[in-house]
A and B are shown apart, each in its own frame.
Chain A
Amino acid sequence: MSKKIMVVDDEQDVRTFLTAILKKAGYETVTAGDGHEALALVKATKVDLITLDLMMPNKTGTDFYRHLIKDKDLSQIPVIIVSGLPGRHLAVKDPAAIFDKPIDPDAFLAAVEQALA
Chain B
Amino acid sequence: MSRTDNSGLRALRALRRRLGRWVSGNTDLDAPTRLATHWRDVVPCYLSVQDRDLRIVEANNLFRQDFGQRVGQYCYHVYKGRGSPCPECPVLKTFEDGQIHTGQEIVVTHDGQRAHVLVTSASFLVDHRGRTTAVMEMSTNITQVKTLEQELHQSKQYFQQLFDSVPCYISLQNHDFRIVETNQLFRQDFGDQSGKLCFQAYKGRASVCPDCPVEKTFADGQVHSSEELVVTRDGRRANMIVYSMPVTDEQGKIVSVMEVSTNITEVKHLQHQLAAMGLAVAGMAHRVKNILMGLEGGIFVVNTGMEEDNRGQIDDGWQMVERNVAKISRLVKDLLYCSKERDPSYSAGVSPAQIVRDVHGLYLTRTRQEGIELVLDLREPYQTGTFDPEGIQNMLANLTANAIDACRFDTTPDKAHQIRLSCRQDDTGITMLEVSDNGAGISTEHLEKVFKGFFSTKGTEGTGLGLLVVNKVVEEHKGTVSVRSAPGQGTTFTVSLRSAG
Q: Which residues of A contact B (CB under 8 A)?
A: 10-11, 13-14, 16-18, 20-21, 24, 55-58, 84-86, 100-103, 105
Given A57-B458, A84-B286, decide whether A101 and B293 contact each other with a Cβ distance below 8 A. Answer: yes
Q: Which residues of B contact A10 (CB under 8 A)?
A: 460
With an 8 A cutoff between CB atoms, is B136 at the interface? no
Q: What's the Cα separation between A101 and B285 when bound, in Å?
A: 11
CB distance from A58 to the nearest CB of B (A): 7
Query: What separation, in Å, do the CA atoms of A100 and B316 have in the docked complex?
Result: 24
In the complex, what residues of A have CB within 8 A of residue B460's CB? 10-11, 55, 84
Instruction: Pick 6 A–B contacts, CB within 8 A, sort by A.
Output: A14-B294, A17-B297, A55-B460, A57-B409, A100-B289, A101-B290
Contacts of A102 in B (CB 8 A): 289, 292-293, 295-296
Neighbour of A105 across the interface among B286, B300, B409, B458, CB < 8 A? B300
Q: Which residue of B lies closest to A82 (CB)?
A: B293
4 closest Cβ pairs, A-B complex: A17-B297, A13-B294, A102-B293, A84-B289
Contact across chains for A17 and B290 when beta carbons are under 8 A apart? no
- Is B292's CB under 8 angstroms from A101's CB? yes
Is A11 in contact with B286, judged by CB distance below 8 angstroms? no
Q: Which of B295, B317, B459 has the largest count of A CB atoms less than 10 A from its CB? A: B459
For residue B463, CB closer than 8 A to chain A, the reply is: no
Which residues of the partner chain B approach A57 to less than 8 Å between Cβ atoms? 408-409, 458-459
Closest to A102 in B: B293
Residues of A within 8 A of B296 (CB): 17, 102-103
Chain A contacts of B32 at CB under 8 A?
none
Beyond the given A13-B294, A20-B297, could you list 15 further A-B residue pairs with CB under 8 A, ordered by the A residue number? A11-B290, A13-B320, A13-B324, A17-B294, A17-B297, A20-B300, A21-B300, A56-B459, A58-B409, A84-B286, A84-B289, A84-B293, A84-B460, A86-B282, A103-B293
Q: CA of A84 to CA of B460 in the docked complex: distance in angstroms?
A: 8
Interface residue? B411 (CB, 8 A): yes
A105 and B297 alpha carbons, distance in the complex (Å): 9
Task: Name the CB-closest residue of B to A14.
Answer: B293
Q: Does B246 interact with chain A (Cβ within 8 Å)?
A: no
Verify if B224 is at the interface (C-beta below 8 Å from A): no
Which residue of B has the minimal Cβ distance to A20? B301
CB pair B458 A13 closer than 8 Å: no
Q: Chain B at the A interface: mostly helix, strand, loop or mixed?
A: helix
Distance (Å) between the CB of B89 and the closest chain A CB?
92
A89 to chain B, nearest CB (A): 16
Bound Cα distance from A32 to B293, whole angstroms = 18
Q: Are A101 and B289 in contact (CB under 8 A)?
A: yes
Complexed CA–CA distance, A11 and B292 (Å)? 13
Q: For the complex, what is the distance from the CA of A24 to the CA of B304, rounded to whole Å? A: 8
Q: Quick one: which of B253-296 are within 8 Å of A by CB?
A: 282, 286, 289-290, 292-296
B232 to chain A, nearest CB (A): 40
Residue of A nearest to B282 (CB): A86
Cross-interface CB contact of A85 among B286, B316, B324, cutoff 8 Å: B286
Is the C-beta of B323 less than 8 angstroms from some C-beta in chain A? yes
Report B-chain residues with C-beta under 8 Å of the C-beta of A58: 409, 411
Instruction: Give the complex CA separation of A12 and B266 in angstroms.
Output: 43
CA A86 – CA B304 in complex, angstroms?
A: 31
CA distance A52 to B289 in the complex (A): 16
Q: In the complex, what residues of A have CB within 8 A of residue B301's CB?
A: 16-17, 20
Assess whether B300 is in contact with A13, with CB atoms less than 8 Å apart: no
Q: Which residues of A contact B324 (CB under 8 A)?
A: 13
Chain B residues, Cβ within 8 Å of A100: 289
Task: Tell me, rounded to whole Å, the shortest Cβ–Cβ distance linking A5 to chain B.
Answer: 16
In the complex, the answer to whether B289 meets A16 with C-beta atoms within 8 Å is no
Please determine whether B297 and A16 come into contact, CB atoms closer than 8 angstroms. Answer: yes
Asked if B453 is an interface residue, CB under 8 A from chain A, the answer is: no
Bitwise, B296-312 to A at CB < 8 A (1) or not (0) is 11101100100000000
Residues of A within 8 A of B317 (CB): 20
Q: Which A residues are in CB contact (< 8 Å) with B304?
A: 20, 24
Complex contacts, B298 vs chain A, CB 8 Å: 13, 17
In the complex, what's the smallest C-beta–C-beta distance from B417 to chain A, in angstroms?
Answer: 15
In the complex, how many angstroms separate the beta carbon of B318 from the nearest chain A beta carbon?
12
Q: Which of B282, B295, B320, B459 is A16 in contact with, Cβ under 8 Å?
A: B320
Q: Contact: B459 with A13, CB < 8 Å?
A: no
Residues in A whose Cβ lies below 8 Å from that of B300 = 17, 20-21, 105
Q: State A5–B294 Cα separation when bound (angstroms).
A: 20
Expressed in whole angstroms, the Cα–Cα distance for A56 and B406 within the complex equals 14
Q: Would you give the shortest CB distance from A10 to chain B, in whole angstroms?
A: 8
Residue of A nearest to B323 (CB): A13
In the complex, what's the smallest C-beta–C-beta distance from A99 to chain B, in angstroms?
10
Q: How far is the CB of B431 from chain A (nearest CB, A)?
A: 34
Report Cα–Cα, A21/B408, bound state, in Å.
27
Contacts of B282 in A (CB 8 A): 86
Nearest-CB residue, chain B, relative to A54: B459
Instruction: Specify which chain A residues have a CB less than 8 angstroms from the CB of B320 in the assembled complex.
Output: 13, 16-17
Contact call A14/B289, Cβ cutoff below 8 A: no
Q: How far is the CB of A26 from chain B (nearest CB, A)?
A: 13
Question: Nearest Cβ distance between residue A110 and chain B, in whole angstroms?
Answer: 16
